[in-house]
């Protein structure tokens, strides 16, 4: 039994009726693959504006792949060294949670690539949450936070998590009381904000400032972009080309962060089932948004599994095979003929017909996005024994 068979056996929303799948295209001879890599390497060592034309669907506007610039800081919460340092302290401080046992780092652990390695995260009292914790890498470039985009800023996102009853289950009053009772915190808030007032709003601003400093580090793809042709293997070069052309990944995973920042339906809603999650619809109440989730970054993707909003796929191989099949397609059941909330899969998802060699090359490219690990020492609560 292969990995794709195992994935299909899980209670995911997969085909209820046969769909047209493309047979794998013919593989090339070994020397032909080598020749292809040589030609593509020469093409992709040119400036990105001269790269081969990507395969884009109508209406898709390309933002080309590239190096990640520094994250912008909003004018209402400008960067300050003292503020970022305070935010790092708060990020690891469990006093932000009602139980006093959870911190931001509980779900976004730097040792786990700023995620938590779980299918879906645990919240207050070990509540099993519905969604996978996405990495915070380059989160300062994200304009709509959470998988469903319900927060418009990192400051709002931090506040909502602290107050969410299933997550950190705290309140502004309790946060101010707990942090204010720590002798060192008022002075740190004074240095960061100009006066010693300690509250949840400022805590969220400091955490957001720290999060905007969580940026990409060295990886093989970036080294290749900087003019080091040996940084990518032949397989990864072919995978880069597939990513932008026949594999169609570039339609959603574009730009320096490998995300269009938009919301798409991949038919993983569990519609009408126990684990139903309608995604962005819960925010907008627009039937067109049923099942849509934000495109995640692919930077450091080999180290940020499990994958998808519900953590369905434990390994990259399963993800690639699912996309190669065009993802699942469900059929309306009796009584659903006129259901306005019936999930409609994104038209960007289509059977690809990639062969085993193609899939291996595509995986090699994705593995080139793995970043040099950064050891971040967790900050102890300020009044903890040293």
Range of the domain at 243: 3-68+217-367
Q: Which pLDDT belongs to residue 17?
A: 44
Residue 385 lies in a domain: no
Q: What is the pLDDT of residues 285-311, one digit of tens each?
A: 999 999 999 999 999 999 999 999 999
Token look-up 């919301």 returns 263
Residue 338 lies in a domain: yes
Q: Which pLDDT belongs to residue 337?
A: 87
Looking at residue 132, which CATH number applies to its domain? 1.10.760.10
Active site residues: 167
Does one domain contain both 190 and 281?
no
Does one domain contain both 229 and 339?
yes
Q: Which pLDDT belongs to residue 4?
A: 29
Q: Which pLDDT belongs to residue 382?
A: 67
Residue 376 lies in a domain: no
Among the three residues 162, 180, 211, which one is the final residue of a domain in this structure? 211
Does one domain contain both 283 and 324?
yes
Does one domain contain both 44 and 133?
no
Question: How many domains does one find in the chain?
Answer: 2
Residues 6+ apart with CB under 8 A from 5: none
Does one domain contain both 109 and 54?
no
Classify 300 as helix, strand or coil.
coil
Within 10 angstroms of residue 214's Cβ, the number of other Cβ atoms is 20
Residue 380 lies in a domain: no
Does one domain contain both 132 and 246?
no
Q: Model's pTM, two decimal places?
A: 0.91
Does one domain contain both 273 and 305?
yes
Which residues is 168 bridged to in the sheet? none
Residue 16 lies in a domain: yes
Residue 25 lies in a domain: yes
Does one domain contain both 63 and 133?
no
Does one domain contain both 192 and 233?
no
Does one domain contain both 267 and 346?
yes
Blockwise average pLDDT, block size 10, the chain, 386 residues: 31 45 91 97 96 97 97 97 97 95 96 95 93 97 97 98 96 96 95 97 98 95 96 98 98 98 95 92 97 98 96 96 92 88 94 97 98 81 56
Q: What is the DSSP string of 97-123?
A: STTSS--GGGTSBGGGTTB--SSS-B-
The dihedrals phi and psi of 180, each to the nearest 5 degrees, come to: -65, -25
Does one domain contain both 309 and 291?
yes
Residues 288 and 142 sit within 8 Å (Cβ to Cβ): no
What is the Cα 77 distance to its own chain's centre? 24
Residues 301 and 369 sit within 8 Å (Cβ to Cβ): yes
Residues 6+ apart with CB under 8 A from 16: 329, 330, 331, 333
Residue 261 lies in a domain: yes
Does one domain contain both 187 and 230?
no
Q: Which pLDDT belongs to residue 353?
A: 96
Residue 73 lies in a domain: no
C-alpha span between 190 and 180 (Å, rounded): 12
């Amino acid at each position: 039994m292969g990995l794709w068979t195992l994935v299909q056996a899980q209670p995911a929303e997969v085909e209820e009726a046969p769909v047209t799948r493309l047979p794998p295209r013919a593989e090339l001879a070994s020397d032909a693959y080598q020749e292809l890599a040589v030609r593509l390497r020469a093409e992709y060592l040119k400036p990105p504006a001269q790269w081969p034309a990507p395969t884009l669907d109508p209406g898709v506007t390309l933002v080309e792949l590239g190096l990640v610039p520094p994250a912008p800081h909003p004018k209402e919460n400008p960067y300050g060294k003292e503020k970022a340092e305070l935010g790092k302290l708060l990020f690891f401080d469990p006093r932000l949670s009602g139980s006093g046992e959870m911190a931001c780092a509980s779900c976004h652990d730097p040792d786990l690539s700023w995620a938590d390695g779980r299918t879906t995260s645990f919240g207050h009292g070990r509540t099993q949450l519905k969604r996978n914790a996405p990495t915070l890498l380059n989160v300062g470039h994200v304009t709509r936070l959470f998988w469903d985009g319900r927060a418009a800023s990192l400051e709002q996102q931090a506040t909502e998590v602290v107050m969410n009853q299933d997550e950190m289950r705290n309140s502004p009053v309790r946060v101010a009381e707990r942090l204010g009772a720590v002798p060192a915190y008022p002075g740190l808030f004074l240095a960061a904000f100009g006066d010693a007032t300690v509250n949840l709003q400022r805590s969220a601003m400091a955490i957001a400032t720290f999060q905007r400093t969580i940026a990409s580090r060295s990886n093989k793809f970036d080294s290749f972009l900087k003019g080091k042709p040996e940084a990518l293997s032949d397989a990864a070069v072919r995978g880069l080309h597939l990513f932008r052309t026949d594999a169609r990944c570039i339609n959603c995973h574009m730009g320096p962060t490998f995300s269009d920042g938009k919301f798409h339906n991949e038919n993983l809603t569990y519609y009408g089932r126990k684990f139903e999650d309608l995604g962005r619809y819960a925010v907008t109440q627009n039937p067109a948004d049923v099942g849509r989730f934000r495109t995640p970054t692919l930077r450091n993707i080999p180290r940020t599994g499990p994958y998808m909003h519900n953590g369905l796929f434990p390994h990259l191989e399963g993800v690639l095979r699912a996309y190669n099949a065009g993802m699942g397609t469900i059929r309306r059941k009796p009584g659903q003929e006129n259901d306005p909330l019936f999930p409609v899969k994104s038209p960007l998802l289509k059977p690809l017909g990639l062969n085993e060699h193609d899939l291996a090359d595509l995986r090699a490219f994705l593995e080139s996005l793995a970043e040099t690990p950064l050891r971040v020492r967790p900050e102890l609560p300020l009044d903890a024994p040293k």
